[in-house]
Amino acid sequence: MRFPDNTDQDSALSVSLDFEPEAGPSSVALNNDLSAAVSNGNGHAVSNGHGGPLFSNGASSSTNGKLTAAGYASKGSHAISRVSLPGTKLYEDSHVDREEFVRLVIQSLRDVGYIESAATLEAESGYTMESPEVAEFRECILDGSWDSAEVTLSRLGVSDDESLRMARFLISQQKYLELLEASNVNAALHVLRSELAPLNTDVDKLHSLSGLIMCSNAEDLKSRAKWDGAAGVSRRQLLANLQRFIPSSVMIPQRRFASLLQQAYTHQRTQCLYHNAPYDSSAFSLYTDHHCSRDSFPSLTTHILAEHEDEVWNVQWSHCGRYLASASKDKTAIVWHIGVSLHPLRRPKTGPNTRDCIPEKVLRDHPYPVGCLAWSLDDSILLTSSEHIIKMWNPKTGLCVRELDAHTETVTSLVWLPDGSGFLSGSMDRKIILWDVDGKQRDTWGTTVIRVTDLAVTPDFSRLVAVGIHHLPSSANNSAVTLQDGGTPPTGAATQASTERRRDVENRLIIYDLATKQQEVSIRLEGELTSVKISQDSRYALVNHAPDEVQLWDLDSARMARRFTGQRQGKHVIRSCFGGVDGNFIVSGSEDGNVYVWHRDTGALLEALPGHGEGSVNSAAWNPKDERMFASCSDDCTIRIWEIPPPEMMEAVGSPMAEQNGKGKGRSRDGWDGTG
Amino acid sequence: MGMRYRQYLAGTRVYGCSTCRTHLATIHSMLSRAFNGQHGRAYLFEGVVNVVEGEPSERQMTTGNHTVRDIFCVKCGTTLGWKYDRAYEPSQKYKEGKFILERNLLVDVQ
Ligand SMILES: [Zn+2]
């Protein structure tokens, strides 16, 4: 918006600015405490008599009368002259439009309460944040002057009739709700019939609005309409909703500059490969691009847990992050207590984090190797599976509470429901069973299409994702197989039949609706699928796919979003997980003995961490309470705890370090190796 | 080395271990019923799954000298039959790489 480009008016402008001494309404975050949002310096909110909150920025309080027109006039002695600049861009070689930029700056200034600066900038640049009509419209909405609002709306450049109709509907809807809130049912009915009904073709919407008349009181109305009343943020919410029908060049979206900066932050964060800093940290400054260093990535083995007597197949952290459960081919599971890091005075001056890692309970009495582990939400129950048997343990006492014998083939997955009210088991016997916390069967998926090799539930409770093997109905021509007697060499028929068998098997990823147990999507994949995990936002499934990749599937679109390559899984069950702040990392085991780590959003391979001995790294698990720690387990019978290297290590990567002593409890060894 | 799930077979007829019902072979890969094992009748298969192979040993059979390995059920460890590594008689060469499962140790599974 430009003032008329009339040089005659230049001098007049600087003294006749008709600004109200208030911060722009865009300063009010919808969910923020108003007084907190406006307090600035020694400022105190004052009322301007028409309902909208006013904001003052310290020295120039409007109560002292300085900001009256006379006040401006009196400052006319240092009148601000308008600066005339060539072109329309912010810089000669930039794409940023100067007017847009300046208007956003003015908006930001008014938002925080630098009212005079904003006025000065408007005068100096010749741009106004918005036209008087917009300010008026905003005031009408915030004051609840619905008739004036409608009139002003028509002058805001709403481009098409449809948009105008929708905007009108939103305003009338607010009017209707406020009348109901004030128990003015007759007037509300009138609005419903004469304004809302003619404007809307959506019968359901009208129906639900008219139903609100039955509300017994204002509280009932608010809860059923999911609306917080005239005195709440509903008018500001309405303003935000109206925004999409009004050209943003006319009415600038709220806090626009901050939105752009937030986008820059998000962009920098997704580009930050080693990003592992909490969201609210000082890691983000406007002065420089954000970047997390590799130093804060847990690339160093700080502890080696060596108590198992055979391959370790799985690891799982308790929700409190202080216990680690491990499952082994040696027919035991171990509950490890992973202590807090020793007090700086008690630990060596140099060297990595030192903590006690104690095998607290060894859970024996499994008839076969242990495959799965799952901690209940409150960590009071640990589930293990051994072939077709599920066991429920008290991890504190190490005693088996219950043994569940409902599956007939290997149990391949155990997962608790997001609310902890029960758990699911999946098995090669094609059964998925829902159990309650007491180990009683609550529900079952019947016979699934696939032999389940793993399953997971989305945190939002909407979906169950299962992977497994689907045996196609045999298409082989059975009669063609001629049986030979022992003395006569057979024909090639049988050879053919055996290759036929392989083609009768396919691997599938199946997405179920958790509530209805109905299959949403079934996707055929090439390789064997050995693991599935769900992202925190419930949108993606992470799937290990033989022979050499981990895939990220978008559950909404049922498309593969990304693949992470480099790891090996020719024939073994290898598992992966999300890790770090916001699940920024993907970690997987591998048959080559390395732990693989990728950047989730770009798929870039960050680390192939060596250290484990002969055989596969079978699984990895990120500590849910410490974003700088994860565990891996291997055929080498050990579990490794990975943490960030100490600062001095950064200076001398690869230099031989003294073995840390004194932690000889159990057979856990404390050692560490450079990863350079 | 490493964790592996047992393989599952499908088809008109699947033979499993009589002790633990682990899937072993399908009728499609059966080459002959005319063999004899330690416990009577035995079948020759093109391929079997879920077995562990033992050390090779020389064995004199009615059809000549062979190098064979005992095969065990991967889950319960039962000795189920053997695998032919090598047949010395030219007429018996077709057995090389094939498997014998004893009929009395098999059960139909699905
Ligand atoms: Zn068996």
Quick: pLDDT tens for A518-555.
999 999 999 999 999 999 999 999 999 999 999 999 99
Whether residue A412 and residue B5 make contact (CB cut-off 8 A), yes or no, is yes
Whether residue A469 and residue B28 make contact (CB cut-off 8 A), yes or no, is no
Domain match, A82 and A222 both? no
Contacts of A45 (CB under 8 A, 6+ apart): A34, A35, A38, A39, A53, A54, A55, A56
Whether residue B31 and residue A311 make contact (CB cut-off 8 A), yes or no, is no
Contacts of A307 (CB under 8 A, 6+ apart): A334, A359, A362, A666, A667, A668
Residue A290, both tokens? 């954000």
Alpha-carbon dihedral sign for residues A228, A232, A237, A238: positive
Q: Higher pLDDT residue, A474 or A177? A: A177
Among the residue ranges A82-96, A479-493, A588-602, B41-55, the one predicted with the least confidence is A479-493
Residue B39, both tokens? 């416990």
Helix H or strand E encompassing A169: helix A161-181
Strand order in the sheet with B106-109: B23-26, B14-17, B106-109
Tell me the CATH number at A408. 2.130.10.10
Q: Which residues of A fall within a CB distance of 8 Å from B63?
A: 486-487
* pLDDT above 80 for A429: yes
**Of B50, B34, B42, B38, residue with least CA distance to B109:** B50
Whether residue B3 and residue A494 make contact (CB cut-off 8 A), yes or no, is no
Per the structure, the complete domain to which residue A201 belongs is given by 146-229
| pLDDT value of position A9 | 40
Neighbours of A661 (CB within 10 A): 10
Q: Which residues of B fall within a CB distance of 8 Å from A481?
A: 27-28, 30
CA distances from A498 to A26, A123, A160, A478, A598 (A): 71, 86, 68, 12, 38
Domain match, A216 and A346 both? no
Burial B62-84 (b: 16+ CB within 10 A, else e): eeeebebbbbbbbbeebebbbbb
Ligand 1 centroid to B45 CA: how many Å? 18
Which residues of A fall below an 8 Å CB-CB distance to B? 311, 313, 329, 368-369, 371, 387, 409-410, 412, 428, 451, 453, 469, 471-472, 474, 476, 478, 481, 483-487, 489-490, 494-495, 497-498, 500-501, 504-505, 571-573, 591, 614-616, 618, 635
Domain match, A124 and A202 both? no
For chains A and B, CB pairs below 8 A equal: 102
Q: Which amino acid is at A595?
A: V
CA distance A630 to A586: 12
Does residue A25 have a cis bond before it (omega within 30 degrees)? no
Ligand 1 centroid to A429 CA: how many Å? 16
Give the end-to-end CA distance of chain A in Å, rounded to a whole number.
Answer: 58
Helix H or strand E encompassing A104: helix A98-112
Half-sphere exposure of A381 (CA within 13 A, CB side): 20
Is A279 part of a structural domain of the chain? no
CA distance A339 to A322: 7
* pLDDT above 70 for A566: yes
Q: Which residues of B fall within a CB distance of 8 Å from A329?
A: 3
Question: How far from the centroid of its chain's Cα atoms is residue A208's Cα?
Answer: 32
What band does A320 get if pLDDT is binned at 50, 70 and 90?
very high
CA distance A383 to A401: 10
Q: Which amino acid is at A161?
A: D
| pLDDT value of position A39 | 38
Q: Which amino acid is at A655?
A: S
SS3 letters for A535-570?
CCCCCEEEEEECCCEEEEEECCCCEEEEEEECCCCC
* Closest residue to A490, CB basis, from B3, B9, B94: B94
Q: Which residues of A fall within a CB distance of 8 Å from B6?
A: 410, 428
- The residue out of A177, A207, A229 marking a domain boundary is A229
pLDDT tens, residue by residue, B33-89: 988 888 889 999 999 999 999 999 998 888 889 999 999 999 999 999 999 999 998
Helices (H), A325-476: none
Is A236 part of a structural domain of the chain? no
Which residues of B fall below an 8 Å CB-CB distance to A? 1-6, 8-12, 26-35, 44, 46-47, 63, 75, 91, 93-94
| pLDDT value of position A502 | 55
CA distance, residue B105 to nearest chain A CA (Å): 19
Contacts of A622 (CB under 8 A, 6+ apart): A317, A577, A578, A579, A580, A585, A587, A629, A630
Q: Decide if A471 contacts B8 (C-beta within 8 A).
A: yes
SS3 letters for B56-97?
EEEEEECCEEEEEEEEEECCCCCEEEEEEEEECCHHHHHHCC
Q: Higher pLDDT residue, B63 or A31? A: B63
* pLDDT above 50 for A630: yes
Whether residue B11 and residue A505 make contact (CB cut-off 8 A), yes or no, is no
Ligand 1 centroid to A388 CA: how many Å? 14
Helix H or strand E encompassing A218: helix A218-225
Task: Locate the domains of chain B by residue range.
Answer: 30-104
Domain match, A449 and A305 both? yes
Domain match, A185 and A117 both? no
CA distance B87 to B96: 6
* pLDDT above 60 for A21: no
Question: What is the total count of domains within chain A?
Answer: 3
pLDDT tens, residue by residue, A109-166: 999 999 999 999 999 999 999 889 999 999 999 999 999 998 999 888 887 888 889 9
Candidates A308, A368, A385, A483, partner chain B, best to mutate (most B CBs within 10 A): A483
Domain match, A100 and A209 both? no
Is A118 part of a structural domain of the chain? yes
Domain match, A506 and A365 both? yes
CA distance A380 to A557: 37
* pLDDT above 50 for A316: yes
Domain match, A515 and A619 both? yes
* pLDDT above 90 for A170: yes
Q: Decide if A587 contacts A596 (C-beta within 8 A).
A: yes
**Of B92, B101, B99, B93, residue with least CA distance to B46:** B99
Whether residue B28 and residue A497 make contact (CB cut-off 8 A), yes or no, is yes
Is A473 part of a structural domain of the chain? yes
Domain match, A116 and A185 both? no
* pLDDT above 50 for A32: no
CA distance A158 to A409: 65
Q: Higher pLDDT residue, A594 or A17? A: A594
Contacts of A177 (CB under 8 A, 6+ apart): A212, A221, A225, A227, A234
Is A251 part of a structural domain of the chain? no
Domain match, A452 and A577 both? yes
Half-sphere exposure of A137 (CA within 13 A, CB side): 26
Q: What is the CATH number of domain B30-104?
A: 2.170.150.20
Residue A343, both tokens? 């007090």
Among the residue ranges A167-181, A226-240, A468-482, the one predicted with the least confidence is A468-482
Alpha-carbon dihedral sign for residues A516, A518, A519, A520: negative
Q: Tokens 């003052």 belong to which residue?
A: A56
Ligand 1 centroid to A372 CA: how many Å? 22
Which of A6-10, A226-230, A618-622 is most confident? A618-622
Domain match, A220 and A329 both? no
Is A478 part of a structural domain of the chain? yes
Is A253 part of a structural domain of the chain? no
Mapped onto helix, strand or coil, the DSSP state of residue A133 is helix
Ligand 1 centroid to B69 CA: how many Å? 17
* pLDDT above 90 for A638: yes
User: Which 8-state DSSP code applies to residue A97?
Assistant: B
Among the residue ranges A125-139, A480-494, A609-623, the one predicted with the least confidence is A480-494
CA distance B10 to B65: 35
Q: Decide if A607 contacts A615 (C-beta within 8 A).
A: no
CA distance A563 to A554: 12
Domain match, A121 and A177 both? no
| pLDDT value of position B53 | 96
* Closest residue to B12, CB basis, from A311, A387, A474: A474
User: Which 8-state DSSP code applies to residue A193?
Assistant: I
Rounded to an integer, the average pLDDT of A50-77 is 39
Is A129 part of a structural domain of the chain? yes
Q: Decide if A117 contacts A41 (C-beta within 8 A).
A: no
Rounded to an integer, the average pLDDT of A226-247 is 90
| pLDDT value of position A29 | 42
pLDDT tens, residue by residue, A642-660: 999 887 665 544 433 333 3
CA distances from B50 to A279, A407, B33 (A): 50, 20, 21
User: Which 8-state DSSP code applies to residue A346?
Assistant: G
